[in-house]
Amino acid sequence: MRKLLALALIFGAFTAPAQAWGPIGHRVTGAIADDNLSGVARANVKILLGTENLAEAATWPDDMKSDPDDFWQNKANPWHYVTVREGDDYKVTDAPTEGDAMTALTRFTATLRDPQASADHKRLALRFIVHIIGDLHQPLHAGGGNDRGGNDFKVTWFGRPSNLHSVWDSAMIEQRSLSYLELAGWLSRSITPAQVVAWNERDPSVWLHESIALRKTIYPTDTNLSWDYAYRHRAELDDRLKRAGIRIAAYLNWVFEPSDPKLAEAK
C-alpha cells in the first residue's frame, strides 16, 4: 500500500497542472529586477516589503495558493494567465468576467499608484505585479484556449510523465541544477546595456505578443522530451527570464516615478 501511495505521489508531481514559472524561475526574474531598480523604486519597494526582496516577493502569490481562504482558492486563481483564442494580440474582450493576468495587472498597478491605498493593499499589489509580469513572459501563460496552456499536452520528460506546461515552468530550469542566485547571476552577466535599453518596454501587450509568437513554436512533434528539446529551447527560455526581470524593474521604475513636479525636485 505504501509503495502504491508513493508511486501515486510521484506520478502526480509530474502530471498536476502547473500554474506559473516554478519557484526558481520566478526568483530569477525577481533577482534580475532587483539589480535594475531605480533609486526611487528601490526605496518604495523597501518601504513596502522591508527585508523581503523581489525574488521572495515573486513567488508569494503561488505560495499563498495553499491558503484555504476563498480569495486564494477561487478569486485570485485566474490572475496568473491569459487566453487569446484568435490572432496574435491580446484584446480587452479576451478577458473573462472573473478577470485574468492583464486585468489584474491593471488593477494592482492602480492600487500601487493610489496615495489613499493602505500599505497592506499596496504590498499585495506589489507582490502580484512582480509575479504577473513574470507569468506573462512564460509562453504557455498566453494560451490559445485549447489545452489549458499546455497542461493537457502530455509528454514524457526524460521518461517520466509530465506535460508541456510543467516542462517550461520548471523542468528545463531545474535540469541545470543551479540555485536561483546562480542562474540569475549567469543570466544577468549576459544582459548587455543595449538589451536593457531595447527591453525597457512597459506595455504588457508587447510582452504577450512575444509570448504568443514563441508559444506557437514550442509544441513538439515527438512527445518524448529530453536533452535535444532542452538544447533547442534553452536560449528562448533564458531570453524570457531575462526580459521578464528587466521589465519588472522597468515597470516598477515607472510606477514609482514621482508624478508631482515639486516632489520630483525634492527627490
Q: What is the pLDDT of residues 99-119, one digit of tens each?
A: 999 999 999 999 999 999 999
User: Mean pLDDT, to the nearest integer, of 240-244?
Assistant: 98
Can you tell me the distance from the alpha carbon of 151 to that of 234, in angstroms, rounded to the nearest whole number? 20
- Between the alpha carbon of residue 207 and those of residues 25, 48, 203, the distances in Å are 17, 26, 7
Count structural domains, the chain. Answer: 1
Domain contains 159: yes
Residues 6+ apart with CB under 8 A from 71: none
Q: What is the pLDDT of residues 122-138, one digit of tens each?
A: 999 999 999 999 999 99
Predicted confidence (pLDDT) at residue 75 exceeds the cutoff of 60: yes
Predicted confidence (pLDDT) at residue 98 exceeds the cutoff of 70: yes
- Between the alpha carbon of residue 9 and those of residues 58, 164, 225, 261, the distances in Å are 27, 19, 21, 58
Predicted confidence (pLDDT) at residue 16 exceeds the cutoff of 50: no
Can you tell me the distance from the alpha carbon of 176 to that of 179, in angstroms, rounded to the nearest whole number? 9
The helix/strand/coil state of 81 is: coil
User: Mean pLDDT, to the nearest integer, of 143-155?
Assistant: 94
Q: What is the pTM of this model?
A: 0.89
Could you tell me if residue 145 is left (phi over 0), alpha (psi between -120 and 50 degrees) or otherwise beta? left
The helix/strand/coil state of 201 is: coil
Alpha-carbon torsion 226, 228, 229, 232, what sign? positive
CATH code assigned at 113: 1.10.575.10
Full domain range(s) for residue 59: 25-266
Alpha-carbon torsion 11, 14, 15, 19, what sign? positive
Domain contains 4: no
Domain contains 46: yes
Domain contains 18: no
